[in-house]
């Protein structure tokens, strides 16, 4: 986690978390299994990141992930020696002997329960780069290989060191052509990445709008940012959540493609934690025009997708306070 600068300055990159180092293995060695069968994502959904490493938060198997989570993003895939290519290396030792076979069975069980399990690419220390046609192809091919090997329903883009909208768009469109309908595609940009539609991350989101499930921007590790009304808002407030979400909602994304990403506990991020009640107030403000702070949007967005948290593990560490409060609220939205 890194401290951020003000809205008028270039921010330092800030991450969801720091994964333990793992050895990369080639996705080409993946043994294909049954074709991917996507799980349905509800109209109002809760996304949670599951940690494939032990950083002091509660260690979980996928089977132990709280039931309120509709989309479970497995953090993280690893870069390989081939530009754009990714692999997944289960941290069995760090997770108490969790085996690959158990992991695959848990993915299938979550899907049978109506959940989506996706592989997240990036994180604070992620080094995956898609900067040309060859790396775009390698990315699409390797992610599709992981989907077939582990049963993942899709992919989460959490590249925090910049991306190229042209080639990331190419990669994601190529992946969608392989999977067919039902690909679950999420993104977790930092606040600076979604301040303007001219930014590469925002452009990518708009370029893939036809296949995009949700953008869960990280409303933390951020510092102050501009809202859609041109005013500066500080993180850690309901206004920060609503005024920044408004930029995406008015910038071309469908309300169903916008989610609020927050830490599950103060330990989950360096800064920007808000109580679950603040998240719920922001959801109410955006969807119903109630419980707003000083910023009130000019219209409501009842189709707002929901909320995301880093992480299911930090949520468990805090007694599941986040999912127990935010989950039912998201699922009860209009």
Residues designated as active site: 160
Nearest 5°: the CA angle 197, 169, 20 is: 95
Q: For the chain, how many residues are written?
A: 334
DSSP states of 5-51: --TTSPPPP--S--PPP-----GGG----SPP-PPPPPSSEEEEEEE
Task: Give the whole-angstrom CA distance, residue 305 versus residue 283.
Answer: 10
What are the structure tokens assigned to 14, written together?
């800030």
Phi and psi torsions of 241, nearest 5°: -70, -45
Are 46 and 323 in contact by the 8 Å Cβ rule? The answer is yes
Burial track 162-185 (b if 16+ CB lie within 10 A, e otherwise): ebbbbbbbbbbebbbeebeebbbb
Task: Give the whole-angstrom CA distance, residue 248 versus residue 237.
Answer: 18
Q: At what angle do helices 133-150 and 100-112 cross, to 10 degrees?
A: 80
């Amino acid at each position: 986690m890194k401290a951020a600068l003000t809205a008028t300055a270039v921010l330092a990159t800030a991450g969801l978390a720091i994964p333990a180092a793992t050895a990369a293995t080639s996705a080409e060695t993946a043994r294909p299994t049954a074709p991917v069968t996507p799980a349905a994502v509800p109209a109002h959904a809760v996304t949670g990141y599951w940690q494939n490493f032990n950083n002091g938060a509660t260690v979980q198997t996928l089977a132990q992930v709280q039931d309120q989570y509709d989309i479970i993003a497995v953090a993280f895939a690893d870069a390989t020696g081939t530009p754009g290519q990714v692999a997944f290396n289960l941290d069995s030792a760090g997770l108490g002997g969790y085996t690959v076979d158990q992991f695959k069975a848990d993915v299938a069980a979550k899907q049978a329960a109506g959940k989506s399990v996706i592989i997240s690419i990036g994180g604070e220390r992620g080094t995956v780069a898609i900067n040309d046609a060859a790396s775009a192809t390698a990315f699409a091919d390797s992610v599709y290989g992981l989907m077939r090997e582990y049963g993942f329903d899709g992919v989460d883009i959490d590249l925090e060191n910049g991306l190229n909208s042209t080639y990331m768009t190419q990669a994601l469109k190529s992946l969608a052509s392989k999977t067919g309908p039902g690909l679950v595609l999420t993104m977790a940009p930092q606040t600076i990445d979604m301040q303007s539609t001219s930014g590469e991350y925002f452009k990518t989101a708009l370029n893939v709008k036809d296949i995009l499930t949700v953008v869960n921007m990280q409303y933390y590790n951020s510092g102050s940012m501009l809202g859609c009304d041109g005013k500066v808002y500080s993180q850690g407030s309901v206004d920060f959540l609503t005024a920044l979400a408004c930029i995406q909602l008015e910038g071309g994304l469908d309300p169903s493609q916008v989610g609020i990403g927050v830490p599950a506990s103060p330990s989950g991020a360096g800064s920007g934690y808000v109580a679950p009640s603040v998240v719920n107030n922001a959801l109410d403000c955006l969807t119903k025009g109630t419980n707003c702070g000083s910023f009130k949007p000019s219209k409501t967005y009842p189709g707002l997708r929901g909320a995301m948290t880093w992480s299911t593990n930090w949520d468990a560490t805090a007694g599941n306070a986040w999912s127990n409060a935010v989950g039912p609220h998201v699922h009860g939205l209009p």
